Amino acid sequence: MKRLLLAAALAAVAIPAAAQDSYPDRPITIVVPFAAGGPTDTVTRLIAEPMSAELGQQIVVQNTAGAGGTLAAGEVAVAAPDGYTVLMHHIGMSTAPGLYASLPYDPLVDFKTIGLVTEVPMTIVGRKDFEPNTLQELSDYVKANADAVTYANAGVGAASQLCGLLFMQAVGAKVTEVPYQGTGPALTDLVGGQVDFMCDQTTNTTEQIKAGAIKAYAITSPERNPALPDLPTTAEGGLPDLDVSIWHGLYVPKDTPDEIVQKLTAALKTALADPTVNERFAELGTTTVSDDLSTPEAHTERLSSQIELWKGVFESAGVQPQ
Ligand code: MLT
């Protein structure tokens, strides 16, 4: 009997091992937790092509938007741990634990990290006919007209919501928030003049700013960005504490075999070294991370330190988890 049980246990181990060797032998899905056409989607589609070439398999990008990115994260947390369902997420993976009273997943327990992908600054932008012309004027205007002003974001847990929260705190005002499934559709409405202002990643806003379709007030990085050299930093505009950079990373469900994680990390590294990817990221004001950061170890370290950081920021600002 004991021998039979041992044989059964060995067989159970042998099947996944074979699957790991042949991985990937069918298309891989990367789940994007926001709407198509937004910054997370753009980053994902740019790296998907070289990753797919390296892995020798098709990569399908699937947009599962909702609940500020937490819906998709919850779904991937319980997906089959076979490497065929991968999550692309950003800083929201670290802010959600401080913003939601109960999340259906624990970012540090329910996933394995593959590696960091990008660092992306944000821009504070308004509809092109919005009265304020500078960050100082925007701050004053928002304070004086808080009841009438609308701010677009991608829901609680989104980068745009985080940046808006920090902006409202910095100026001491609370405006009406208009949530979208992602900042792709939110930006469309900003261009159309349906909302007043928002804060969004350069990946999404650079081309619209350059085309004059929206008004830009500031970039949320300590230095100006080469893609938008005329845009002042938040510090130059009088809000030195509004300094936020959005980082993206790839995740798989926690029981995914390490061999599969290694293959995905190797493919990610190939994508991040691709000159076409880097050229496009630079045009959009974004950078790929350095080679030492596109590893599971560096990614886990970033995730865990950022969870602590943002929990502390929210607690000291009196933000109540919902
Ligand atoms: C998106 O891809 O739509 C954005 O990353 C949403 C956000 O976090 O603001």
Q: Indicate if ligand 1 lies below 6 Å from the C-beta of 38.
A: yes
Instruction: Please report the pLDDT score of residue 6 as a whole number.
Output: 41
The arithmetic mean of pLDDT across residues 204-228, rounded, is: 98
Residue with tokens 């705190």: 169
pTM of the entire predicted model:
0.93
Cβ–ligand 1 distance for 105 under 6 Å, the answer no
33 Cβ closer than 6 Å to some ligand 1 atom: no
pLDDT of residue 3: 43
**CA nearest 73: which of 60, 84, 86?**
86
Q: What number of other Cβ atoms are within 10 A of residue 255's Cβ?
A: 11
Query: Would the CB of 68 count as within 6 Å of ligand 1?
Result: no
Residue environment code for 12-31, b if the CB has 16+ CB neighbours within 10 A, otherwise e: eeeebeebbeebbeeebbbb
Residue 228 clears pLDDT 70, i.e. is over it: yes
The residue assigned the tokens 């821009």 is: 123
pLDDT over 90 for what percent of the chain?
92
Query: Going by DSSP bridges, is the β-strand pair 59-63/28-32 parallel, antiparallel, or unpaired?
Result: parallel
Helix or strand holding residue 124 (H, E): strand 111-127
Is the CB–ligand 1 distance for residue 158 below 6 Å?
A: yes
* Per-residue pLDDT tens over the stretch 66-90: 999 999 999 999 999 999 999 999 9
Mutate to test the pocket of ligand 1, among 183, 190, 199, 247 (most ligand atoms within 8 A of CB): 183
Q: Over 70: is that where the pLDDT of 13 sits?
A: no
What does the pLDDT read at residue 19? 76
Residue at token pair 């790296």: 47
**pLDDT recorded at residue 16:** 60
Across all residues in the chain, what is the average pLDDT?
94
Phi, psi angles (nearest 5°) of residue 290: -70, 160
